[in-house]
Amino acid sequence: MHFTDTLPTPPAEALAHSEQLAQHIRAAIASHGGSIPFREFMRMALYEPGLGYYVAGLRKIGVEGDFITAPEISPLFSQCLANQCAQVLAELGGGDMLELGAGSGVMAADMLLRLEKLGCLPQRYRILDLSPELRDRQRQTLQAKAPHLLARVEWLDALPEKTIRGVIVGNEVLDAMPVEVFQVTEGEMHSVHVKLEGDNFAFTARNPSLTLPLSGEGTKAGEHLAPPLTRGGWKGFLSYTSEYNPALPGWMRSMADTLEAGALLLIDYGYEQQDYYHPDRNEGTLICHYQHRVHNNPLLYPGLQDITASVDFTAVAAAGVDAGLELTGYTTQAAFLASSGLEELFIAALDANPDNQYQLAQQVRTLSLPSEMGDRFKVIALSKGFTPPLIGFRLANRKQHL
Ligand SMILES: C[S@@+](CC[C@H](N)C(=O)[O-])C[C@H]1O[C@@H](n2cnc3c(N)ncnc32)[C@H](O)[C@@H]1O
> 234-280 pLDDT, tens per residue?
555 567 899 999 899 999 999 999 999 999 999 999 999 889 988 88
> Is the shortest distance between the CB of 128 and ligand 1 below 6 Å?
yes
Q: Which of 59, 130, 287, 306 to mutate to test the pocket of ligand 1 (most atoms within 8 A of CB)?
A: 130
Mean pLDDT of the region 347-357:
95
296 vs 65, more confident: 296
> What confidence score (pLDDT) does residue 140 get?
94
Are residues 152 and 125 in contact, defined by beta-carbon separation less than 8 angstroms?
yes
> What confidence score (pLDDT) does residue 46 get?
95
pLDDT score of 232 more than 60: no
> Is the shortest distance between the CB of 129 and ligand 1 below 6 Å?
yes
Round to whole Å and give the CA distance between 22 and 120: 47
> Is the shortest distance between the CB of 101 and ligand 1 below 6 Å?
yes
> Is the shortest distance between the CB of 176 and ligand 1 below 6 Å?
yes
How far away, in angstroms, is 198 Cα from ligand 1 center? Answer: 33
How far away, in angstroms, is 130 Cα from ligand 1 center? Answer: 7
pLDDT digit string, tens, across residues 79-95: 999 999 999 999 999 99
Q: Which of 55, 100, 155, 173 to mutate to test the pocket of ligand 1 (most atoms within 8 A of CB)?
A: 173
> What confidence score (pLDDT) does residue 274 get?
85
pLDDT score of 301 more than 70: yes
How far away, in angstroms, is 186 Cα from ligand 1 center? Answer: 37
Query: First vs last Cα of the chain: how many Å apart?
Result: 29
Q: Nearest CA to 146 among 217, 231, 82?
A: 82
How far away, in angstroms, is 174 Cα from ligand 1 center? Answer: 8
Map residue 60 onto helix, strand or coil.
coil
> Is the shortest distance between the CB of 105 and ligand 1 below 6 Å?
no
Number of continuous H segments (helices) and E segments (strands) in the chain: 13, 16
> What confidence score (pLDDT) does residue 211 get?
58
Domains in the chain: ranges and CATH: 18-402 (3.40.50.12710)
Are residues 96 and 122 in contact, defined by beta-carbon separation less than 8 angstroms?
yes
pLDDT score of 342 more than 90: yes
> Is the shortest distance between the CB of 61 and ligand 1 below 6 Å?
yes
Round to whole Å and give the CA distance between 354 and 69: 25
Atom of ligand 1 minimally distant from the CA of 128: 21
How far away, in angstroms, is 69 Cα from ligand 1 center? Answer: 11
Distances (CA, A) of 293 to 4, 140, 392: 9, 28, 32
Q: Nearest CA to 303 among 4, 9, 1, 25?
A: 25
How far away, in angstroms, is 188 Cα from ligand 1 center? Answer: 34
Q: Whose CA is nearest to atom 1 of ligand 1?
A: 172
> Is the shortest distance between the CB of 255 and ligand 1 below 6 Å?
no
pLDDT score of 204 more than 90: yes
pLDDT score of 224 more than 70: no
How far away, in angstroms, is 197 Cα from ligand 1 center? Answer: 32
Q: Whose CA is nearest to atom 12 of ligand 1?
A: 101
Q: Which of 51, 73, 98, 129 to mutate to test the pocket of ligand 1 (most atoms within 8 A of CB)?
A: 129
> Is the shortest distance between the CB of 172 and ligand 1 below 6 Å?
yes
pLDDT band at 3 (very low <50, low <70, confident <90, very high): very low
> Is the shortest distance between the CB of 299 and ligand 1 below 6 Å?
no
pLDDT band at 10 (very low <50, low <70, confident <90, very high): confident
pLDDT digit string, tens, across residues 14-70: 899 999 999 999 999 999 999 999 999 999 999 999 899 988 866 666 666 677 899
> Is the shortest distance between the CB of 103 and ligand 1 below 6 Å?
yes
> Is the shortest distance between the CB of 245 and ligand 1 below 6 Å?
no
Round to whole Å and give the CA distance between 26 and 389: 51
162-195 as b/e: b if 16+ CB within 10 A: eebbbbbbbbbbbbbbbbbbbbbeeeebbbbbbb
> What confidence score (pLDDT) does residue 208 get?
61
259-275 as b/e: b if 16+ CB within 10 A: bebbbbbbbbbbbbbbb
Q: Where are the alpha helices (DSSP H) in 118-244?
A: 134-145, 227-230
Q: Whose CA is nearest to atom 27 of ligand 1?
A: 101
> What confidence score (pLDDT) does residue 215 get?
43
pLDDT score of 389 more than 90: yes
Q: Nearest CA to 215 among 206, 226, 204?
A: 226
